[in-house]
Amino acid sequence: MVVDQLREVELDRLFQAFADSTRRDIVRRVTVGESSVSGLAALYAMSFAAVQKHVAVLERASLVTKEKRGREQIVRGNHEGLQKARRLLDEYEAIWRQRVDRIADILAEG
Amino acid sequence: MVVDQLREVELDRLFQAFADSTRRDIVRRVTVGESSVSGLAALYAMSFAAVQKHVAVLERASLVTKEKRGREQIVRGNHEGLQKARRLLDEYEAIWRQRVDRIADILAEG
DNA sequence: CTATCGTACAACCAAATGGTTGTAGATCAG
DNA sequence: CTGATCTACAACCATTTGGTTGTACGATAG
C-alpha cells in the first residue's frame, strides 16, 4: 500500500524526533506552556542554532507548532503527533496481548 | 540526578530503535511469533548482515531478546521495552491533559 | 569427513545527525 | 535613526547510521 509508505516515513520522523533527550525536554516544556525559540535556547548548554534545529526536527515530526509573534517565534506542543506515537505502541501492545491470550488458550486446552 | 541520565540514554536507544520501518516490522513479527535471524533476513530486500545489525539495535534497546538454539539464533519480542516507551508517552499525555484541564478551569472561571 | 547453513564480525562507504560559527534580515527599544 | 534582539540559513566538521562485501567459525546434514 502506497499510503502506508507515507505513514511509515511519518513514524520514522516521529520516533526519530523522540530519540534525543534535548528534544524530549523541549516537547515537555512547550506542552506545559508555550515558549519562544530563544527562550528555549537559553535553557540548554548549546548554541541557539542547535536548539533551532531541534525545534525544526520536532516541527517536521508534527510534535510541535511554530507561530510568529512580533520578532519571536512561539513554540507550542502538538497533541496530534503524540497521539500518533501512542496509538502505534498501543497496536504493538495489542499484538502482544493477542499472543499471550493465544498461549493461555493453548494451555487451557491441554 | 545521575540515575536519570541512564534512563535518558535508555530512552534514546528505545526511540532510535523504533525510528526505522524495518525494525518496527521485525518487532511486530517476533512479537507475534519467534523467528531466527536468517528467517527474518529472508523477508527483506537487504543483506543478512544488515538484518543482523537491525536485530542488534533492537536487542540493545531491550525490545527483543536473542537465544541460541542449535546453529540458529532465535529472536523474540520483549514486552518490557515496549512498556517503557508507552509509559513515557503516557507521561507526556498526562502533562498535556493537565494543561488542557488548566485552560478549561480558566475558561470556567471567566 | 565434507559441504552447507546460520552466525559473527571487520572493513568500507555514502548519507544523515548533532553540533559549531558566521552572515544577514526583521523587529523592537530608546 | 541606531543598536540590540530574535530568527533564519549556509557552510563546515566529527560521529553515527544503514547499508555493503568478505572472511571465519561452530553446528548440522548427507
Average pLDDT for A70-90: 90
Q: Report the relative pairing of strands A64-69 and A72-77 from DSSP bridges.
A: antiparallel
Check pLDDT > 80 for residue A6.
no
Band of the pLDDT at B63, cuts 50, 70, 90? Answer: very high
In whole angstroms, give the CA distance from residue A31 to residue A38: 17
Question: Mean of the pLDDT values across residues A85-99?
Answer: 83
Cell of A107: 494451555
pLDDT at A72 over 80: yes
| Chain A contact for B4 (CB, 8 A cutoff) | no
Single-letter residue type at B74: I
pLDDT for the residue B28: 93
Assign B107 a pLDDT band (cuts: 50, 70, 90): confident
Q: What span, in angstroms and rounded, lies between the C-alpha atoms of B68 and A20?
A: 33
Using one digit for the tens of pLDDT, what is the confidence trace for B85-94?
Answer: 888 888 888 8
Q: What is the mean pLDDT of residues B99-106?
A: 78
Residue B11 has pLDDT above 80, yes or no: yes
Q: Which top CATH class is B2-109?
A: mainly alpha
CB-CB neighbors (< 8 A) of A16 in chain B? 15-16, 19
For B21-82, the DSSP string reads HHHHHHHHHHHHS-EEHHHHHTTSSS-HHHHHHHHHHHHHTTSEEEEEETTEEEEEE-HHHH
Sequence-distant contacts of A41-46: CB under 8 A, at least 24 apart: A46/A22
| Interval A21-41 mean pLDDT | 96
B20 has a chain A CB within 8 A of its CB:
yes
Q: Do B15 and A11 touch (CB under 8 A)?
A: no
pLDDT value at residue A1: 56
- Whether nucleic acid strand D comes within 7 Å of the CB of A67, the answer is no
